């Protein structure tokens, strides 16, 4: 008779996913664990924590792209292990970057021929692009001052107070004084006249913003160019302009082709743009384009050969993935001029629907413009009962992430909410957001009225002429007492 036995292999334990010992204890947070865990357990643990993040599609604070076509997703995953900097090993990726640079340069009317190569570079975003452009301006200014035998240790840059924080980073990291044109209530972009007044012989450039982060407005680059040209002629200086087109660079060419803000203006020497904003690529790609080759000092370009052939590089970092460069090229050839134009028109249409819906509540004043970046920035007409910060916090209950912030100096008194309209923000989502804003307004109004009623009742109970000054504990007791009066105990079921 054959006797069979069951062999238990302790190395392959069978268990339900959430009965595993790996999810019963907390994993180390600040020190690497001593032992390995199964790959499925590691995946499940991390995936569960990530569920606590917000939904990127409902993050209306961000200009950054949160949706791309599945075909592009496949290209991204197929190239995620390619190092962008290794030009010799990945020549096709290098070629795609060069094609993107030239397409953007032509889009911005760079003075180059059809067969000429544009001067530009791909970056991890507009922050790096601005750092590189700023370094080029600083070095050119220093070289010129040295040649003239003049001091070159106190460079400055003129911007509006509405610039993104990366400009402050550039100034602090690279020791350049930042001279800001203050804002004023009702005018939330840089005033060209005041900007030119701040220009002196140590100014390396004036930075104009095509698409203010605060309200999406395009600054008047042409007016700035004309005023600065006159001042340069009067003083003998040659102060140039850089255009920070992070948000608006992929909008203006398609919706406002007649607007002169780019290389059509002679003082514009460099432009940065974010591929991961309205360039319609996932986060991790920006571009900086120079007008001519001599606007980028050769001494800033490094040449290396330890990855293969001679490879010129001008970046702040070294290694990075190739995926976003490839994704940018995909969008350019997939959509073309017509496709980008259609998407931007649709975004502006959805912004109009949202703006009208918010205006119809009667509670808000719109501070953004109908042209510019497709966003809606709006302030409460009356903040005595609740603030935009209360509205922002309550909208999170519905999944919406809508930022609330105060304006920079000298318009700090104004606090606004801002909704950025991206490609994946549909008309139905715009209508739903308006409905949820109305719900929040109703709830906040109702809550404010109830609190006011409690306070009034409490005041009436005090003797005439008595000073009313309540502690937090007293207020809590009054509120609890009031709500108990509203509860009909006969209708309660005893179920929590």
Where in the chain are the domains?
A: 73-333
In degrees rounded to 5, what are phi and psi of residue 435? -60, -40
CA gap 421, 66 in Å, rounded? 11
- The pLDDT score that the predictor gives to residue 29 is 86
CA gap 199, 179 in Å, rounded? 9
Query: What average pLDDT does the chain have?
Result: 89
Q: Which residue has the higher pLDDT, 460 or 347?
A: 347
Q: Is the pTM of this model over 0.85?
A: yes
Conformational region of residue 175, where left means phi above 0, alpha means psi within -120 to 50, and beta covers everything else? left
Per-residue confidence band for 492, with pLDDT thresholds at 50, 70 and 90:
very low
CA gap 358, 378 in Å, rounded? 8
Per-residue confidence band for 489, with pLDDT thresholds at 50, 70 and 90:
very low
* Distance of alpha carbon 121 from the chain centroid: 20
Q: Which residue has the higher pLDDT, 490 or 149?
A: 149
Domain made up of 73-333: CATH architecture: 3-Layer(aba) Sandwich (3.40)
- The pLDDT score that the predictor gives to residue 114 is 78
Strands (E), 358-485: 364-366, 375-380, 404-406, 415-420
Per-residue confidence band for 27, with pLDDT thresholds at 50, 70 and 90:
confident
For residues 161-173, give the mean pLDDT. Answer: 96
Report the percent of the chain where pLDDT is more than 90.
73
Question: 159-168, 183-192, 295-304: lowest mean pLDDT where?
Answer: 295-304
Count of beta carbons in the 10 Å neighbourhood of residue 156 = 18
Per-residue pLDDT reduced to its tens digit, 200-213: 999 999 999 999 99
- Residues with Cβ within 8 Å of residue 287, at least 6 apart in sequence: 100, 101, 104, 120, 121, 122, 123, 129, 272, 273, 274, 275, 279
Per-residue confidence band for 331, with pLDDT thresholds at 50, 70 and 90:
very high
> Residue 483 pLDDT > 60, yes or no?
no
Per-residue confidence band for 481, with pLDDT thresholds at 50, 70 and 90:
low
> Residue 457 pLDDT > 70, yes or no?
no
- The pLDDT score that the predictor gives to residue 370 is 92
In angstroms, the Cα distances linking 251 to 44, 257, 428 are 41, 9, 23
Per-residue confidence band for 464, with pLDDT thresholds at 50, 70 and 90:
low
> Residue 7 pLDDT > 70, yes or no?
no
Strands (E), 214-310: 241-244, 268-274, 286-290, 302-304
Per-residue pLDDT reduced to its tens digit, 230-246: 999 999 999 999 999 99
Residue 273 forms beta bridges with which residues? Answer: 287
């Amino acid at each position: 008779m054959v006797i069979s036995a069951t062999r238990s292999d302790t190395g392959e334990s069978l268990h339900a996913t959430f009965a595993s010992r790996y999810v019963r204890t907390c994993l180390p947070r600040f020190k690497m664990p001593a032992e390995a865990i199964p790959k499925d357990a590691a995946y499940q643990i991390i995936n569960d924590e990530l569920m606590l993040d917000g939904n990127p599609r409902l993050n209306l604070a961000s200009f950054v792209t949160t949706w791309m076509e599945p075909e592009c997703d496949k290209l991204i995953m197929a190239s995620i292990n390619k190092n962008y900097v290794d030009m010799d090993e990945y020549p096709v990726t290098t070629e795609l970057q060069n094609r993107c640079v030239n397409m953007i340069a032509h889009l911005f009317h760079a003075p180059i021929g059809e067969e000429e190569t544009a001067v530009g570079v791909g970056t991890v975003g507009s922050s790096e692009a601005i750092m590189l452009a700023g370094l080029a301006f600083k070095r050119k200014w220093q070289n010129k001052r040295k040649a003239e035998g003049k001091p070159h240790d106190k460079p400055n840059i003129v911007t509006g107070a509405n610039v993104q924080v990366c400009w402050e980073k550039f100034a602090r990291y690279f020791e350049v004084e930042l001279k800001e044109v203050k804002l004023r209530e009702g005018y939330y972009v840089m005033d060209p006249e005041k900007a030119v007044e701040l220009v002196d012989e140590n100014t390396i450039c004036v930075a104009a913003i095509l698409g203010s982060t605060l309200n999406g407005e395009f600054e008047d680059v042409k007016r700035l160019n004309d005023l600065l040209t006159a001042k340069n002629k009067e003083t003998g200086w040659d102060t140039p302009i850089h255009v920070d087109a992070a948000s608006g660079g992929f909008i203006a060419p398609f919706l406002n082709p007649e607007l002169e803000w780019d290389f059509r203006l002679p003082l514009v020497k460099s432009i940065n743009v974010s591929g991961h904003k309205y360039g319609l690529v996932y986060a991790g790609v920006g571009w900086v384009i120079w007008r001519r080759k001599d606007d980028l000092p050769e001494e800033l370009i490094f040449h290396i050969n330890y990855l293969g052939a001679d490879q010129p590089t001008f970046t702040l970092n070294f290694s990075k993935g190739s995926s976003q460069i490839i994704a940018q090229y995909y969008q350019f050839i997939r959509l073309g001029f017509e496709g980008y134009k259609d998407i931007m028109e649709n975004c502006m249409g959805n912004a109009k629907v949202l703006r009208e819906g918010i205006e119809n509540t009667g509670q808000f004043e719109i501070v953004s413009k109908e042209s510019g970046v497709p966003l809606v920035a709006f302030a409460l007409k009356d903040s005595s009962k609740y603030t935009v910060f209360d509205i922002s916090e309550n909208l999170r209950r519905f999944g919406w992430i809508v930022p609330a912030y105060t304006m920079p100096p000298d318009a700090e008194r104004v606090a606004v909410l801002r909704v950025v309209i991206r490609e994946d923000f549909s008309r139905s989502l715009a209508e739903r957001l308006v409905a949820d804003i109305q719900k929040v307004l109703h709830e906040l109004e109702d809550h404010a009225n109830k609190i006011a009623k409690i306070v009034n009742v409490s005041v009436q109970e005090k003797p005439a002429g008595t000073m009313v000054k309540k502690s937090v504990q007293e207020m809590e007791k009054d509120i609890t007492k009031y709500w108990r009066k509203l509860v009909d105990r006969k209708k309660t079921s005893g179920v929590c």
